[in-house]
Structure 1
């Protein structure tokens, strides 16, 4: 819907755009409306960017502006990045475009919100429906009756030359401090599992920060939960190298980049088992919402350097399959499949 908000869909969009442009494709990133707080993902983009509407609400001029932008683009592929985009543009894109509908969430999340209904209504009419894991593609094929599913993971943006020593007593949580990330559960699990000198560092900002600080006080770990605020993407490699465990406590995720990035740095992760994407990224898993089991998984890694090193090495080996060049190869395989 907008292309420049700080978020996972936007990051993946710009990463893929830059990668495909680097392979010689004429790539255009189109935001249907302007971001309230624009974030720059690529310092020197090889692709072109367009904003259709200055407002977040549809306007009577939107169709004309969109037609004008699309009129300057030749035949090719239109990648629609969410159910909202697919619904809003249904029937409005030129016939020379082959339409690919992405979904960056999981089937488990889609079925408890409006997304599954939107996917059922519109994605079967597209040339291809793309999901983040084979597990989720199969579930959508079976339960949304889609004949056109395909799986393509999110790509890693970097491949670090160094890996973490896994010696620092630090657990890392990364994400917006908002309800869906459930950092309250992470703080509770950390309090159950750890003892000094272990610390939990939370990287991100958001509306839940004061509530989470109060929760840390109630759990008795206020002095060991460090709120770091939002950090630039360029500084995240340093944070992974300084961590020994990454923890993901979200209610729902598609394929979280945090798990892939930490794995690339040799850092093992603990997460709730909320999607096929989470399972494909590796790590120790706990049943969704089960804080006690999550705490037990954290405790296992905190107590054993050898286990951290073993799981970190396995995670890094698995993360190689999510490297940008490999994911771009898979996108080109999809393009070839669609044009056969």
Structure 2
């Protein structure tokens, strides 16, 4: 078995994928109807909409199978996103990329794999629509074209999903889109710098702290750092703060270990990013922090470092030019956190990091 290499645009591609906020989301009828139609149209037992994350393949819609995730190294779709053209394998057992792949050689064994890339308006291939068959068979040019057409419909649904979400969050999206596109370019550079930093011989906490600082500066946060949970004890580690941040607020943040209550203590086991655009309205908001200027906050799970669990935490205050968390802020925070989590896992197992 041969694992697919990373595409040249990997970091920008991951940011584009994060923009859709689709990973780990609930099933949706619009996508399930497409996989059902694909299975019926091509007379195959399995049809999938897959997205290629940093270290996994995650399925948004599955027809004919229950699995929703697999290691990226085993994913045939990781090969499909390397080209604009569909990938068609008529006999997986005869293809050296898949001949001993456990995903393709189970019971029953997969003979046909046909996948068409999902390509964003920015040109990044973030996933696939693919079909599988356990019977030896042909897959002709007309079928390839039909698969591409269905993949285009999937991408249209993704774009519609993003637009609907944006309309729910804010009005006047046109000016925001222009700002987001400009920031995405610098955020891709920040993400690459984060990945490079995590390869340095710093300790796990030092590396994640420095990475958090880069992210905080990129999104123009007022304070960014780590919440470090060790058993019942939680402490705040400052990675970056605006030079003119209210000293009283900074001192209160850094005394988190001594402070009962608050939002952070209730998020030790959170599995997905948690955003608060108006801190004062949160039921667990601390009055003292409201008084000292805290306006918005975000908590993003990073993972385990030894016996400690880490959250990436960032804040905006009354002195900030920005309010809340934009789509590009969320994309960078969550993609950077996944990069940190992967690096922590590889440090713990002694596995060398792959370069993209």
More strand by share: 2
Larger radius of gyration between Structure 1 and Structure 2: 2
TM-score, length of structure 1 as denominator length = 0.28
TM-score, length of structure 2 as denominator length = 0.27
